[in-house]
DNA sequence: GTTTTTGCAAACAATTTGCAGGGAT
DNA sequence: ATCCCTGCAAATTGTTTGCAAAAAC
């Protein structure tokens, strides 16, 4: 948290209460895959006079600073999550097509595959995104 | 193409000229990752009086029949591509963050990984989506 | 005191929906 | 004749922008 504030300051952005609250909400829901609107709702509980546009602008800003990243799952709604600290990216998603829940898993699986991509396709890999769609354990047992 | 028409008929949907043209366009641009609007533009050249809503409805229909599938790359615009015939899904994307081009690659890499997911996370995998972001070979040589 | 940032409302873009007319069976 | 499908326009949804006032440094 402190280093994020540091980063903001050093990039000549001002540390406003609104930005702090957005960060706070993101930290409190780290596994949440929140949409801009989700963040807005949560932030509004703490600072009711905040505007939706400010939330969007803050999320945009944090994305540009590479603090968070914007993802799309099955819908056309952007969701945001913290970018992992390390520059290797071993972090994937399990998306339940029944209940819509998105779970995170953290495994180092794609290292060899990335190498193959770089060699076979002459493609410089910077990041990747891996999502599995299926039925989560809870929905499997509920059997609906 | 014929089997698709068959499938439509057997699901009690009518094979209208509009639907045929949409399919035609999709087939002609199989590697294109077209958005609804792209399809609309292309279809309009053949059948100028077609409506955008019809295109959306047709794409929706084809998605439900599992003929095509709806994907989101970095933006909030849905793009559509044919679903591979086989029920194994060995088909991934290379998305260039410089020129925006999306290339397809067809490799069987995730079989073992899917098994791990099923076991370790008790998650029934139905499909997956793997996209690599990076710099494509053309942009690498152009060096801009 | 400047320069950013905010909140509001209006603008925008992608997609969906309601509905009356048209077409296929 | 019925039921499905289309085209149009209006409605919705998610996101962005213009601008004057307010806040940060």
Task: List pLDDT tens digits, range B67-114.
Answer: 998 999 888 899 999 887 655 666 899 988 888 888 888 888 888 899
Q: How far is the CA of A97 from the C1' of C25 (A)?
A: 37
The tokens describing B70, both together, are: 């709806």
Taken as a whole, chain A contains a residue count of 144
pLDDT of B144 > 60? The answer is no
Statement: the CB of A90 is under 7 Å from strand D: no
Instruction: For the domain made up of B88-144, give the CATH fold.
Output: Dna Ligase; domain 1 (3.30.1490)
When pLDDT is cut at 50, 70 and 90, the band that residue B48 belongs to is very high
Q: What is the pLDDT of residues B74-87, one digit of tens each?
A: 888 999 998 876 55
Which of A72, A97, A77 lies closest to B133 in space, CA to CA? A72
- Does A132 sit within 8 Å of B125, measured CB to CB? yes
Q: Decide if B1-83 and B88-144 have a common fold.
A: no
Indicate the DSSP class of residue A138: H
- CA-nearest residue to A130 within chain B is B130
Statement: the CB of A35 is under 7 Å from strand D: yes
- Does B123 sit within 8 Å of A94, measured CB to CB? yes
A57-62 long-range contacts, Cβ below 8 Å, gap at least 24?
A58/A18, A58/A19, A58/A22, A59/A22, A61/A13, A61/A19, A62/A22, A62/A23, A62/A26
The tokens describing A40, both together, are: 């807005």
CATH code for the structural domain at A1-83: 1.10.10.10
Domain boundaries, chain A: 1-83, 88-144
- Sites in chain A below the pLDDT cut of 50: 144
**Which nucleotide is closest to the Cα of B19 by its C1'?**
D5
């Amino acid at each position: 948290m402190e280093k994020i504030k540091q980063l903001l300051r050093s990039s000549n952005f001002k540390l406003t209460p609104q930005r702090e609250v957005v960060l706070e909400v993101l930290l409190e829901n780290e596994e949440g895959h929140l949409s801009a609107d989700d963040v807005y709702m949560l932030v509004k509980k703490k600072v009711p006079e905040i505007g939706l546009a400010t939330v969007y602008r803050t999320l945009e800003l944090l994305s540009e600073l590479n603090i968070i990243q914007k993802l799309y799952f099955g819908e056309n709604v952007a969701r945001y999550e913290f970018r992992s600290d390390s520059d290797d990216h071993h972090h994937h998603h399990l998306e339940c097509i029944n209940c819509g829940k998105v779970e995170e898993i953290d495994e180092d699986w794609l290292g060899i595959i990335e190498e193959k991509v770089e060699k076979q396709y002459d493609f410089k890999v910077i990041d990747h995104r891996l999502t599995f769609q299926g039925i989560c354990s809870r929905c499997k047992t509920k059997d609906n």
